[in-house]
Amino acid sequence: GAVVSQHPSWVICKSGTSVKIECRSLDFQATTMFWYRQFPKQSLMLMATSNEGSKATYEQGVEKDKFLINHASLTLSTLTVTSAHPEDSSFYICSARERLAGWTDTQYFGPGTRLTVL
């Protein structure tokens, strides 16, 4: 159980185009999903937190107009990189948190999406 998928697993696009990445919780409902960015040989940096049915909360320094997040259902969140540029090339990972009885912060991670902007 607790499987999170991402689509696509990798994408190459031209500079100036927009790219959408999907994150799905396959066997549980995710009230909260998280988007991370990881540069080579570095740790994960939280970009934003999205709660189903409400606006995402972005971390300081993350451009909300460039990285559009939509969490339209309890199993799907999307990240759209608008007007992508080479510096946006990175590994994007989503995670989803399953709310159990009691309080737990276990997050289940997707396999990641490799974005390369030419």
Partner 1 sequence: AQSVTQLGSHVSVSEGALVLLRCNYSSSVPPYLFWYVQYPNQGLQLLLKYTSAATLVKGINGFEAEFKKSETSFHLTKPSAHMSDAAEYFCAVSLYDKVIFGPGTSLSVIP
Residues that bind partner 1 (CB under 8 A): 4, 6, 32, 34, 42-44, 46, 49, 91, 93, 95, 104-112, 114
CB atoms within 10 A of CB 25: 25
> Which residue number, 82 or 109, has a Cβ lying nearer to partner 1?
109
> Which residue number, 65 or 105, has a Cβ lying nearer to partner 1?
105
Residue 78 contacts by C-beta under 8 Å, 6 or more apart in sequence? Answer: 20, 21, 22, 23, 69, 70, 71, 72
Q: Give the nearest distance from C-beta 93 to partner 1 in angstroms.
A: 5
> Which residue number, 49 or 82, has a Cβ lying nearer to partner 1?
49
Contact 4, 93 (CB under 8 A): no
As a whole number of angstroms, the distance between CA 29 and CA 73 comes to 9
Element housing 68 (H / E): strand 67-73
> Which residue number, 32 or 75, has a Cβ lying nearer to partner 1?
32
Q: Give the nearest distance from C-beta 116 to partner 1 in angstroms.
A: 12
As a whole number of angstroms, the distance between CA 78 and CA 32 comes to 12
Query: Which residue's entry shows tokens 């009885």?
Result: 101
Q: Give the nearest distance from C-beta 83 to partner 1 in angstroms.
A: 26
Q: Give the nearest distance from C-beta 79 to partner 1 in angstroms.
A: 14
